[in-house]
């Protein structure tokens, strides 16, 4: 099935408009983000132990940042329920309402880029991976993420970056060498989780790009970039010497802040934790068992900033 999806994806890309050139240098002044803890810049320290990547991008630009992403979010609680602010039912209405009441200014569409990065919580533990939402499949979950772009377009937005799901199978939580941790202390088959997560993510990413390609004809004058977060994190995993410069040995299989729990122990009780401090932390790909490290987020922010500045990034493709 995955091979067939990729065949269709390659066909779609082959017929994509040849004049998809994206935004011009100096055009973008504002950044609006939607998503989960990977992009939540509303508190400090963020889920990566420092500043979330949008905060770094706003400095590198510089750009005015309007961070709507919230930790724990799924795309829609009507699909994969979580007690956190989802994109569909909370983040989009909040943004539209804030613009309407003046909490957020009316942003010039030509000077603003909207980034949607959602999916980690939809496909993971207590969601699709563990069958916690019977009757819900990967298709509507990924369609929900794509629909967020269309809703923003219908509200007047014109410039978008859509991030696909990163290499969740290589996080500690979903690895085949995982241990009871703050995100899951129950028994599980770690090899099964690892294989299943790889299949879910790669299939979901292929589906998503096909859905974006199909939607673009409905969005005249839109500029949509597909950002391959999965490929970037694969490269960071495979070539850490090109991305990490901490004083500890380079580490892509451990994390800065690791907490090992006893099997079936309540996560309300403290596990046995170890933490890399100071410049040692810049040697790690992951901050904890699920989240990228601060250095990984800086790497991501640099690449996304290049796209917003109208420069080239090997991880981004303008689809329109």
* pLDDT over 80 at 303, yes or no: yes
Contact 287, 257 (CB under 8 A): yes
Domain CATH number, residue 157: 3.40.50.1110
For the chain, the average pLDDT equals 94
| 3 state DSSP class of 320 | coil
- Residue 167's CB is within 10 A of a number of other CB atoms, namely 21
What is the arithmetic mean of pLDDT over 278-304?
A: 98
Which residue matches tokens 């941790």? 181
In a domain, 272, yes or no: no
Query: What is the predicted pLDDT for the residue at 239?
Result: 98
In a domain, 251, yes or no: no
Angle between helices 190-215 and 229-238 in degrees, nearest 10 = 140
Range of the domain at 169: 2-14+23-238+294-311
pLDDT confidence bin for 20, thresholds 50/70/90: low
Query: What is the predicted pLDDT for the residue at 37?
Result: 98
* Beta-strand runs (E) in 26-179: 30-35, 64-67, 112-117, 159-163
In a domain, 281, yes or no: no
Query: What is the predicted pLDDT for the residue at 267?
Result: 85
Query: What is the predicted pLDDT for the residue at 14?
Result: 44
pLDDT confidence bin for 268, thresholds 50/70/90: confident
Q: How many domains in the chain?
A: 1
pTM: 0.93
- Asked, as a colleague might, if the bond just before 147 is cis with ω within 30 of 0, I would say no
What is the arithmetic mean of pLDDT over 81-108?
A: 98
Per-residue pLDDT tens for 171-229? Answer: 999 999 999 999 999 999 999 999 999 999 999 999 999 999 999 999 999 999 999 99
What is the arithmetic mean of pLDDT over 254-275?
A: 93
Contact 144, 209 (CB under 8 A): no
Query: What is the predicted pLDDT for the residue at 269?
Result: 82
Q: What is the token pair recorded at 270?
A: 């403290």
- Burial annotation 58-92 (CB, 10 A radius, 16+ → b, else e): bebbebebbbbbbbebbbbbebbebebbbbbebbb
Q: What's the sign of the alpha-carbon dihedral 245, 273, 287, 56?
A: negative
In a domain, 317, yes or no: no
Query: What is the predicted pLDDT for the residue at 175?
Result: 98
* pLDDT over 50 at 92, yes or no: yes
In a domain, 252, yes or no: no
Least-confidence region, from 23-32, 248-257, 265-274: 265-274
CA angle 280, 286, 287 (to 5 degrees): 70
Which residue matches tokens 């068992």? 289
* pLDDT over 50 at 89, yes or no: yes
Q: What's the sign of the alpha-carbon dihedral 38, 39, 40, 46?
A: positive
Per DSSP, 213 falls in state H
Query: What is the predicted pLDDT for the residue at 4?
Result: 46
Least-confidence region, from 8-22, 58-72, 154-168: 8-22
CA distance 239 to 136: 36
In a domain, 286, yes or no: no
Q: What percent of the chain has pLDDT over 90?
A: 92
Per-residue pLDDT tens for 137-165? Answer: 999 999 999 999 999 999 999 999 999 99
């Amino acid at each position: 099935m995955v091979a067939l999806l990729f065949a269709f994806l390659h066909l779609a890309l082959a017929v994509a408009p040849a004049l998809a050139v994206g935004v011009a240098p100096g055009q973008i002044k504002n950044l609006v983000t939607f998503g989960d803890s990977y992009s939540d810049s509303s508190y400090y320290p963020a889920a990566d132990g420092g500043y979330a990547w949008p905060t770094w991008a706003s400095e590198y630009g510089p750009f005015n940042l309007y961070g709507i992403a919230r930790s724990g979010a799924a795309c829609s609680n009507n699909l994969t329920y979580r007690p956190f602010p989802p994109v569909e039912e909370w983040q989009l209405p909040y943004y539209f309402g804030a613009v309407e009441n003046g909490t957020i200014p009316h942003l010039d569409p030509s000077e603003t880029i909207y980034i949607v990065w959602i999916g980690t919580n939809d496909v993971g533990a207590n969601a699709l991976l563990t069958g916690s939402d019977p009757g819900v499949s990967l298709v509507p979950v990924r369609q929900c993420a794509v629909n967020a772009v269309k809703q923003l377009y219908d509200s007047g937005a014109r410039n978008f970056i859509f991030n696909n799901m990163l290499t969740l199978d290589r996080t500690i939580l979903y690895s085949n060498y995982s241990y009871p941790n703050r995100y899951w202390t129950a028994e599980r088959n770690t090899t099964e989780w690892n294989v299943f997560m790889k299949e879910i993510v790669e299939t979901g990413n292929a589906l998503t790009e096909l859905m974006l390609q199909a939607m673009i004809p409905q969005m005249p004058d839109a500029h949509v970039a597909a950002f391959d977060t999965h490929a970037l994190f694969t490269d960071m995993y495979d070539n850490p010497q090109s991305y990490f410069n901490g004083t500890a040995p380079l580490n892509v299989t451990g994390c800065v802040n690791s907490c090992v729990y006893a099997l079936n122990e309540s996560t309300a009780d403290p596990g046995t934790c170890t933490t890399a401090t100071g410049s040692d932390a810049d040697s790690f790909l992951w901050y904890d068992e699920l989240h990228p490290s601060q250095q990984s987020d800086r790497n991501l922010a640099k690449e996304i900033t290049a796209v917003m500045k109208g420069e080239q990034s090997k991880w981004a493709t303008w689809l329109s």
